[in-house]
Chains A and B, each alone.
Chain A
Amino acid sequence: MTGTTPKIKLRNVHKAFGEKVVLDGVDLDVGVGESVVIIGGSGTGKSVTLKCILGLLHPDQGSVEVDGESVVGISQRRRDRINRKFGMLFQGAALFDSLPVWENVTFGLLAEKRCTRSDAEEIAVIKLGMVGLGPDVAHLYPAELSGGMQKRVGLARAIASDPEIIFFDEPTTGLDPIMADVINDLIVKITREVGATALSITHDMVSAKKIAHRIAMLYDGKIIWAGRTESIDGSGNEYVDQFINGRAEGPIKMAVRA
Chain B
Amino acid sequence: MRFSPAWARVISAPMWARRSETVINPFQPIGRVFLAFLGATGRLASFSFSAFSHCFRPPFYFRTIFSEMIEIGYYSLPVVGLTAVFAGMVLALQSYTGFARFSAEGAVANVVVLSITRELGPVLAGLMVAGRIGASMAAEIGTMRVTEQIDALTTLSTNPMKYLVAPRLIAGLLMFPLLVLVADVIGVFGGYMVAVHKLGFNAANYLQRTWDFLRAEDVNSGLVKAAVFGIIVTLMGCYHGYNSKGGAEGVGAATTNAVVSSCILILSFDYVLTEMFFSK
Contact = CB atoms under 8 A, between A and B. Distances in A.
A90 interface: yes
A157 B158 CA distance: 14
B217 interface: no
Contact of A94 (B8, B12, B149, B159): B149
A184 to B, nearest CB: 21
A86 B155 contact: yes
A76 B149 CA distance: 19
Given A58-B2, A60-B5, A94-B147, A88 B157 contact: no
A19 B157 CA distance: 32
A111 B12 contact: no
A249 interface: no
B158 A90 contact: no
Interface in B117-167: 144, 147-149, 151-152, 154-159
A89 to B, nearest CB: 10
Interface string B10-48: 001000000000000000000000000000000000000
Contacts of B12: 18-19
A195 interface: no
B5 A55 contact: no
A111 B158 CA distance: 6
Interface string A43-70: 0000000010011101010000000000
Contact of B148 (A18, A90, A97): A90
A256 to B, nearest CB: 19
Contact of A96 (B5, B9, B152, B155): B152
A111 B59 CA distance: 9
A96 B61 CA distance: 16
* Residue of B5, B9, B159 most packed against chain A (CB within 10 A): B5
A96 B141 CA distance: 11
B157 A108 contact: yes
A33 interface: no
A19 B2 contact: no
A100 interface: no
Binding site secondary structure of chain B: helix
Given A16-B5, A94-B152, A80 B157 contact: yes
B152 A90 contact: yes
B147 A18 contact: no
Interface residues of A, number: 29
Nearest to A157: B156
A84 B157 contact: yes
Nearest to B11: A18
Contacts of B156: 107-108, 111, 157, 161
Contacts of A91: 148
A87 interface: yes
A94 B145 CA distance: 10
A112 B148 contact: no
B157 A111 contact: yes
A92 interface: yes
Contacts of A96: 144, 149, 152
Contacts of B159: 76
Nearest to A154: B152
A5 B78 CA distance: 62
B157 A94 contact: no
B239 to A, nearest CB: 19
B250 to A, nearest CB: 15
Interface string B218-242: 0000000000000000000000000
5 contacts: A86-B155, A90-B152, A94-B147, A111-B158, A157-B156
Interface of A: 16, 18-19, 51, 54-56, 58, 60, 76, 80, 83-84, 86-88, 90-92, 94-97, 107-108, 111-112, 157, 161
Given A19-B9, A108-B156, 9 more contacts: A54-B151, A60-B5, A80-B157, A88-B155, A90-B148, A94-B149, A108-B157, A111-B157, A112-B157
Closest 9 CB pairs of A and B: A108-B156, A94-B152, A94-B148, A88-B155, A111-B157, A111-B158, A90-B148, A94-B149, A107-B156
